[in-house]
Amino acid sequence: MTSPVSLGTWPTPLEAAPRLAARLGLADLWFKRDDLGGLGGGGNKIRKLRYTCAEALAAGASMVITSGAPQSNHARLTAAAAGRLGLACVLVLAGPPVRDRRGNLLLDELAGAEIVWSGDRPLAEVVAVEAERRSAYVIPFGGTSPTSLAGYMDCGRELRAQVPDIDGVEVVVAVGSGGMMAGLVRELGAERVVGVDTGALPDARAAVAGLLVGQVEPAALRIDGSQVGAGYGTLTDAVRAALRTTAREEGVFLDPTYTGRAMAALLAGSFPHGDRVVFLHSGGLPGLFGHPELSA
């Protein structure tokens, strides 16, 4: 495997959350602050990009291309990583052009990314056409690939060093493209990781299992689907309440698509858990400002 490039600040902090712990009846609750990774507004994608960008550079690429929703955290951090590494960046974003540049869209443009809107066409189709036309290196949706799993295996090793008696702790994580959960499962074991489905893919279990073929049986994966609501990118009342509760109890801001759903599941007690929990904060604060409906 190509050695990862240096893009962030490691290890990310582990912070106790005693007020939320008391509210949930937990002996211990910690936030693993991957939102403080250091690059481009922070977030979990930095760990993956350390490996995928290393592959791009090793392949002699001068341009990278990736895809996502208009407020994609992965797209924002790919643009930031490309800028730091001297690569051109193209972002294929879903749907028609958005005139109101706020949140991650604003940061994409500040980082110098060129944005291509997919319109009615599938994202993968547009990425394939643009990548061939421009001879660009493709970074997968969400930054997830077999190679990038190493980023969250790194995170699992950090947790082993940071958390007392890690064998008695459960790690709660949002599941989008599946790489974050898969990497943690490889390092910590399926019994220790609880994934909360965000609705990003049709079948979260299949996505995670597909990254762990031959290592973990799909049935062993602990995935909660209670917070998908009307689908990926929609704001539910439970998520809105989770955002407010976390901000008011611990002064920590979550995002409405990923960490908000994971916290809503934890607050609802919708999956069995012990009394010592690590909540993986995967970032997304810039995207929060792209959701004006939160103020309604």
Q: Are residues 245 and 132 in the same domain?
A: no
Tell me: pLDDT of 295 over 80.
no
Would you say 286 and 103 are in contact if contact means Cβ atoms under 8 Å apart?
Answer: yes
Q: Are residues 171 and 119 in the same domain?
A: no
Is residue 9 in some structural domain? no
Sort 202 into a burial class: Cβ within 10 Å, 0-12 / 13-18 / 19+: exposed
pLDDT in the model for residue 296 = 59
On whether residue 180 sits in a domain, the answer given is yes
Among 16-25, 55-64, 96-105, 132-141, the range scoring the smallest mean pLDDT is: 96-105
Q: Are residues 136 and 169 in the same domain?
A: no
Q: What's residue 16's pLDDT? A: 98
Q: How many domains is the chain built from? A: 2
Pair 186, 270 in one domain: yes
**Can you tell me whether residue 138 is helix, strand or coil?**
strand
Please say which residue of 110, 128, 143 terminates a domain: 143
**% of the chain exceeding 70 in pLDDT:** 99
290: confidence class by pLDDT, cuts 50, 70, 90 = confident
Residue 72 among the catalytic residues: yes
pLDDT of 292 strictly over 80: no
Entry field: residues in the chain: 296
Q: By the 8 A CB rule, do 68 and 40 touch?
A: no
125 and 183 inside one domain? no
Q: Are residues 71 and 111 in the same domain?
A: yes
Residues 59 and 169 in one domain: no
Structural tokens at position 157: 């090793």
Per-chain mean pLDDT for the chain: 94
Instruction: Establish if 77 belongs to a structural domain.
Output: yes
Distance CA 289, CA 85 (A): 27
Domain that holds residue 241: 14-43+145-295
- Residue 1: inside a domain: no
Position 271 scores a pLDDT of 78
Distance (Å, whole) CA 30 – CA 190: 19
Choose, from 3, 62, 67, 72, the residue flagged as catalytic. 72
Specify the pLDDT at position 233. Answer: 80
Closest by CA to 4, choosing from 183, 258, 214, is 183
Which of the four pLDDT bands, split at 50, 70 and 90, describes residue 287? confident
Q: How confident is the model at residue 101 (pLDDT cuts 50, 70, 90)?
A: confident
- CA distance readout (Å), 10 to 45, 84, 202, 231, 244: 14, 17, 33, 33, 28
Pull the structure tokens for residue 258: 């990923």
Domain boundary among 143, 160, 175: 143
CATH number at residue 114: 3.40.50.1100
Same domain flag for 223 and 129: no
Q: What is the pLDDT at residue 294?
A: 74
234 versus 82: the higher-pLDDT residue is 82
- Residue 87 confidence (pLDDT) above 90: yes
For 22-79, write each residue's pLDDT tens digit: 999 999 999 999 999 989 999 999 999 999 999 999 999 999 999 999 999 999 999 9
- Does residue 65 lie in a domain region? yes
Q: Are residues 85 and 37 in the same domain?
A: no
Check whether residue 223 and residue 105 sit in a common domain: no
Is 4 a domain residue?
no
User: How confident is the model at residue 288, as a pLDDT?
Assistant: 81
169 and 76 share one domain = no
Residue 234 covered by a domain: yes
Provide φ and ψ at 130, rounded to 5°: -70, -40
Q: What's the pLDDT score for residue 51?
A: 97
- Is position 215 within any domain? yes
Whether the per-residue pLDDT at 291 is higher than 80: the answer is: no
3-state secondary structure of 171: strand
Q: What is the DSSP letter of 103?
A: T
Residues contacting 88, CB < 8 A, separation 6+ = 62, 63, 64, 82, 114, 136
Same domain, 37 and 50: no
Rounded-to-integer distance, Cα 34 and Cα 10, Å: 9
Among residues 143, 176, 202, the one where a domain terminates is 143
